[in-house]
Amino acid sequence: MAAPAAAPADAQSQFPPPKVLTYPAAAPPSLITQGAEGRLYKTTHLLPDRPCALKYRPPKPYRHPILDARLTKARLSAEAKVLDRCRREGVPVPAVYAMDPAAGWMMMEWIEGIPVRAAINEWLGARRPPEEGAEPSAEAADDGAPLADLMRRIGIAMGALHRTGVVHGDLTTSNMMLRPRGEGQAVNGCVGGGDDKAKVLEGEVVLIDFGLATQSMSDEDRAVDLYVLERAFASTHPRAERLFATVLESYKDTFKKAPSVLVKLEDVRMRGRKRSMLG
C-alpha cells in the first residue's frame, strides 16, 4: 500500500486524524490518500521501524449518528474477517494488526513496493508501440514475456482469492501491489529472470483495498469480479489489453471451478455490451 505519495500538510490539517494517531510516536503519521469512504495513513505499529497502514472511516455528518456508527463498525468488521480468511488460506493480502471498529479504524501491514498499475505503465512507457498493421515479430513476443509473466501471477492471485470464497468487488491494477522479493525467490508460482529492464514487473502480487469485498461462492459474483478487472485493465492499459487472456488462462489453471465462472463471464460480457449499446 505504498502507492500514492503522501498528502500535503494542508490536507492533513483539513482532515484531522483519528484519536489513535494523536498520541506521541517516534514516527509521525502521514495522510496517504483521502477517498469518499475513508482515509489511509502511514504510521507504525508497536515499533518505530514497523510501518503499517491505518484505514480510517470518519463519521459521515449526512447520516444519523447511530446508523453511521453501526455501518462503520459492520463494514470494518466485515473487511477484517475477509482479510483474515484470505491470510489463513494463503492468499497474498495485508495482515490485520489491530482494529477498533467502534472508533472507525483498522491497522494493517504496510505493503512495500509499487502498484501493478504503475509498474505496467512504466514498463510500457519504455517501449515503442508497434506500427499499425505490422505483424508482431518473434523479438517483440520475447520482449513481452515479462509482462505475460506478471499476467500469470495476477491470475494465480485471483484464483487463490476465489478459491477461498471471497470476491474483491473493486479489482483494478491500482488495487494490486508488487512486493519486492529476495533474489531467486519464487513468487506466485513464478521465478524472476535476469533481465534488468524487466525488474519493474518483478515481485509478489498482493491484493489490497478490500472495502467492497464479500464472502461469496457464486459463479456470477466471481465472473463480475473478473469482468470489473478486465474492463479496468482495458481502459488503463490498452496497449496490453490482448494479454488479459493470460490472466484468465492462469486463473483457470489455479482454480478448479474456473470453467463455470468463465462461462458466466461470457454472460456478464454480453450484458455489459448491451448496456454500452443502449447508453
- 17-54 in b/e form (b: 16+ CB < 10 A) is bbebbeeeeeeebbbbeeeeebbbbbbbbeeeeebbbb
Residue whose entry in the numeric block shows the C-alpha cell 469480479: 225
All 3 cell numbers of residue 238? 490498452
What is the spatial distance between Cα 29 and Cα 52, in angstroms, rounded to a whole number?
Answer: 10
> Which range is least confidently modeled, 15-19, 48-52, 179-183, 209-213?
179-183
Residues in the chain: 279
Which pLDDT tens digit goes with each residue over 20-45? 998 887 788 999 998 878 999 999 99
Which 8-state DSSP code applies to residue 194?
A: S
Which tens digits make up the pLDDT trace of 193-205? Answer: 556 668 899 999 9
C-alpha cell at 13: 490539517
Percentage of the chain with pLDDT > 90? 70
Residue 148: C-alpha distances to residues 68, 141, 174, 190, 237 (Å): 44, 10, 18, 11, 13
184 Cα distance to chain centroid: 24
Superfamily of domain 114-271: Transferase(Phosphotransferase) domain 1 (1.10.510.10)
Give the start-to-end residue ranges of the domains of the chain: 19-109, 114-271
Residues 4/8/10/15 CA torsion (nearest 10 deg)? 20
User: Which of the residues are catalytic?
Assistant: 170
CATH of segment(s) 19-109: 3.30.200.20
Q: What is the mean pLDDT of residues 173-197?
A: 69
What are the pLDDT digits (tens) for 78-119? Answer: 999 999 999 999 999 999 999 999 999 999 999 999 999 999
Q: What is the CA radius of gyration of the chain?
A: 20
